[in-house]
Chain A
Amino acid sequence: MPTEFESSKPIYMQIVDRINFNIVQGKQPLGEKLPSVREMAVQMGVNPNTIQRAYSELERMNIVETRRGQGTFVLDDTKLLIELRRSYQTEIINTFVESMLEIGVSKEDMVKILSQHLKGEKQ
């Protein structure tokens, strides 16, 4: 299925995000091959040049490596997973905190609400 993209952010960056997210979720295991540029292009309904650019960007970010004649592989490095996860955590927390502050919730209340919420969920 072709994917929907946000209109203002470069498409290749959105693809990078998506792949990273898949890695964190475990849908794209460490050390394994990414779909070929063409396959990925067909899957996402996106220009192959854009996919190529996304892969290069991932390589620059030290998330994947290109093996000559074999394709593009996610690095087999648990540190990578930890780092990616951490960066997603930071991002999600930042948005959460910002939004809470925007609606006037203090930091102390935030902690309280959050722990209550988590306890509630466990019951």
Chain B
Amino acid sequence: MTIQLQNVTKKYGKDFALRNVNLNFEKGKIYGLVGPNGSGKSTTLKLISGLVFPNSGVVSLNDEAISRKSSEKVAYLTELDMFYDAFKVKDVVDFYNSQFQDFNYEKAQILLKEMKLDPNKKVKFLSKGNRGRLKLVTTLSREAEVILLDEPFSGLDPMVRDAIVQSLLQYIDFDNQILLIATHEIAEIEPLLDEAIAIYYGDVIGQEKVEVMREELGLSVLQWFKQIVAKNEEE
């Protein structure tokens, strides 16, 4: 199973969100899309989940062009607050359960318990941290081929982050899933990653295995990222 972006360009008017991007993602790996805010990370994830369409180039999952229907196989966690206020926590879970065939209801119940979310509480009254947790429950409960997380840690305190990292590790199916995490908080996710992809204002400026960075270059992901940004700006 693979995700491919071939010569993908996405423009918003004259502004390039992505410029002629080529990327490959394989199953069994955790990828980190790193870069500052507004650099094209979210756009990349939205292209893979079929929420936006490229101006040119092809985005494909298992050699099939991505469409709205691809959301069947792609679990996407948005950076936005995506809930209906009238919903209770359990309504959200029920809704996802009805919409996505790969949704594992039992897993969702376990996750709710682990994340200490009260099923009867209205989403409207959840704290920001708990809304973040609920988003994660809906995403991780799916046994989808692809899991996309857009800024899963933003606005969450370190305790919540640790809890999220742990449930991530506990509940993803490593042999069969592709996990893509987009974040500007590079240091936080470094131990999770197999590979890092640096996106800088619409361009992919680097892609490297994390262990190679450390072993051969003696750099952490953050150091590596800073170095290639500097190199990029010199050119």
Contacts and interface: CB of A to CB of B under 8 A. Distances in A.
Interface residues of A, number: 21
A11 B221 CA distance: 12
B191 A46 contact: yes
The residue among B29, B169, B194, B210 with the most chain A CB atoms within 10 A of its own CB is: B169
Contacts of A47: 30, 169, 191-194
A48 interface: yes
Interface string B196-235: 0000000000000011001100111011000000000000
B191 A5 contact: yes
B162 A49 contact: no
Q: How large is the interface on B (under 10, 10 to 19, 20 to 34, 35 or more residues)?
A: 20 to 34
A45 B190 CA distance: 10
B165 interface: yes
Given A2-B166, A45-B162, A45-B166, A11 B192 contact: no
The residue among B174, B214, B219 with the most chain A CB atoms within 10 A of its own CB is: B214
Interface stretch (A26-34, A36-44, A84-92, A107-115): A36-44
A78 interface: no
A46 B222 CA distance: 17
B62 interface: no
B174 A48 contact: yes
Contact of B169 (A5, A9, A41): A41
B191 A2 contact: yes
Interface in A53-97: 53
Contact of A10 (B162, B214, B223): B214
B193 A7 contact: no
Contacts of A48: 169, 174
Nearest to A12: B211
B170 interface: yes
A115 B151 CA distance: 56
A10 B28 CA distance: 20
A10 B166 contact: no
B162 A53 contact: no
A8 B211 contact: no
Contacts of A8: 214, 218-220
A94 B63 CA distance: 56
Contacts of B30: 47, 49
Given A2-B191, A46-B191, A46-B192, A38 B170 contact: yes
B169 A53 contact: no
B162 A2 contact: yes
A86 B48 CA distance: 53
7 contacts: A7-B214, A10-B211, A10-B215, A11-B211, A45-B165, A47-B191, A47-B194
Interface of A: 1-3, 5, 7-12, 38, 41-42, 44-50, 53
User: Which 4 interchain pairs have the tightest Cβ spacing?
Assistant: A7-B220, A10-B214, A46-B191, A42-B169
